[in-house]
């Protein structure tokens, strides 16, 4: 039954991560200048009926945060 215990811990960890992400997104609404997906450095081009959006700064920030999180988890 060791496999079920590991799966249970994995599911609890994933659920806690989703709750934390949800709380972070709710808190981000209170700071309109720092909204996820609308950071300074995100590229947005609108011309006529053409719209291009590339969240460069958001992608870099999320990559940095996830890399740090995975690095901390790997240190154990």
**What confidence category does residue 36 fall into, taking pLDDT thresholds of 50, 70 and 90?**
low
Q: Which residue has the higher pLDDT, 59 or 4?
A: 59
Report DSSP letters for 38-76, one per residue. Answer: --TT-EEEEETTEEEEE-HHHHHHHHHHHHHHHHHHHT-
pTM of the model: 0.54
Q: Using the predicted structure, report yes or no on whether residue 1 has a pLDDT greater than 60.
A: no
What is the pLDDT, as a whole number, of residue 2? 62
Query: What is the Cα Rg of the chain in Å?
Result: 18
């Amino acid at each position: 039954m060791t496999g079920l215990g590991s799966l249970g811990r994995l599911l609890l960890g994933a659920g806690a991560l989703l709750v934390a992400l949800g709380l972070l997104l709710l808190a981000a609404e209170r700071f309109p200048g720092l909204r996820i997906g609308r950071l300074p450095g995100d590229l947005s081009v609108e011309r006529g009926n053409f719209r291009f959006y590339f969240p460069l700064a958001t992608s870099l920030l999320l990559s940095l945060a996830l890399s740090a999180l995975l690095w901390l988890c790997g240190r154990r």
